[in-house]
Amino acid sequence: MENFIDTISGNIYLMIGAFVILGLLILSFVKKLFKMALVVVVALVAYVLYLNFTGQDVERTLKKNMKAVEDRASDVTKKAGELMDNDAIKQAVDKAAKTISKK
């Protein structure tokens, strides 16, 4: 890995190429996020229109659904934090300890 980084940093043309590829990847990712956000907004507007046309209380229904989404998001965040605390941190500490003991 160090040899790869040294090769790229030593040649200006490879470095420019790497930055161009990185920029294109970031641009592609941002475009996909924008499209996904646009789809979510369109779906939300369609849902509000549906609620309005069927005579349901839009504000109460949206608050109830947002509360459910917030509860699920907090549960997922909590469980992800627990998994990260248990596995990833222990593995990182063990790997760092092995690397330090080798040197």
pLDDT at 103: 59
> What element of type H or E holds 96?
helix 89-102
How would you class 58 by CB atoms within 10 Å of its CB: exposed for 0-12, middle for 13-18, buried for 19 or more?
middle
User: How large a percentage of the chain has pLDDT more than 90?
Assistant: 36
- What is the domain partition of the chain in residue ranges? 1-55, 56-102
State the Cα–Cα distance between residues 64 and 57, nearest whole angstrom: 11
pLDDT tens-digit series, residues 68-94: 988 998 888 888 777 776 666 677 777
Q: What are phi and psi of 24, to 5 degrees?
A: -65, -40
pLDDT at 88: 67
pLDDT tens-digit series, residues 19-73: 999 999 999 999 999 999 999 999 999 999 998 899 888 888 889 988 998 899 8
